[in-house]
Structure 1
Amino acid sequence: MSNTITSSISASSSGGGNNVASQIKNITQQITKLTKQLNNLSKSSATAELKKQQQQLLEVQIKMLQAQIAQLQQQQAQKVTAKQDSIAPTETKIDGVNNKTDTNQVDVYI
């Protein structure tokens, strides 16, 4: 493994036509790559100080990506809630002897 770490954080939060599921899939793949880099870091021939810096950088990148996934999931949940709220409940009228209808509105007092 080389001593340089490539940043694999993409601008997937911009939503450029991708749906949330594919964005989450891409971010998960990035997390997998960063985790592999983190695991291979111990095999690196870099100095202990450099390894520590790289480890911290990788951990921060992983946490950022995890936060991005959480944000996408939250946005998706908000969209579902908004969609459910926008659907107006339809009023059902029951016709029958003891039910008030538009044509049957007689009050009977005994």
Structure 2
Amino acid sequence: MTTISTTTSVLTSGGGSSASQGNSLAAQITRLTQQITKLTQQLKDIPNSSGSAEQKQKQQELIQTQIKMLQAQLAQLQRQQVEEAQKKQEQQSSTASVNAPASDRQVDVYV
């Protein structure tokens, strides 16, 4: 029987600057993608492993469940990354519009 060991990490999002969260999000996304790749390879190796058909079926179901869970976490992190990018873009565009000259913010100066 082949023993498959997997680790599941709990992802938490806390406060902090958006730059550190952005790096953290990218690192978490990379880590999850690597875990999914590793589990997918383990899933492919199950038919060649030793053990009964029932044991192989249980291993396959376990790995598929873990992959689905990791994919859900990955999707959540990707959504969060998109939201942060949109916030950053909105902040940049609002800053640019405040600094841009506009006819309603002109001051007439008489000498």
TM-score, L = length of structure 1: 0.72
Give the structure 2 partner of residue 85 of structure 1. 90
Q: Distance in 1 between matches of 2:77 and 2:83?
A: 10
- Structure 2 unaligned blocks of 5 or more: 15-19
Question: Which fold has the larger relative contact order, with Cα–Cα distance below 8 Å and residues 6 or more apart in sequence?
Answer: 2
1:30 aligns with 2:35: yes
Measured after TM superposition, the shift of residue 103 of structure 1 is: 2.5
Q: Structure 1's 100 and 38: CA in aligned 2 closer, same or farther, altered over 3 A? A: closer
Find the aligned partners of 1:36 and 1:30 in 2 and give their Cα distance.
10
Cα deviation, residue 9, structure 1: 1.9
Q: Which residue of 2 aligns with 1:73?
A: 78
What SS class does the counterpart of residue 5 from structure 2 fall into? coil
Structure 1 unaligned regions, length at least 5: 105-110
Q: Kindly state the Cα deviation for residue 69 of structure 1 after the two structures are TM-superposed.
A: 1.1
TM-score (norm 2): 0.71
Query: What residue number does 1:5 align with?
Result: 4
Aligned-residue RMSD, C-alpha: 2.7
Aligned length: 98
Q: Deviations over 1:65-89 (max 9, x none)?
A: 1111111110011112223334423
Aligned partner of residue 22 in structure 1, secondary structure: helix
State the identity as a percent: 43
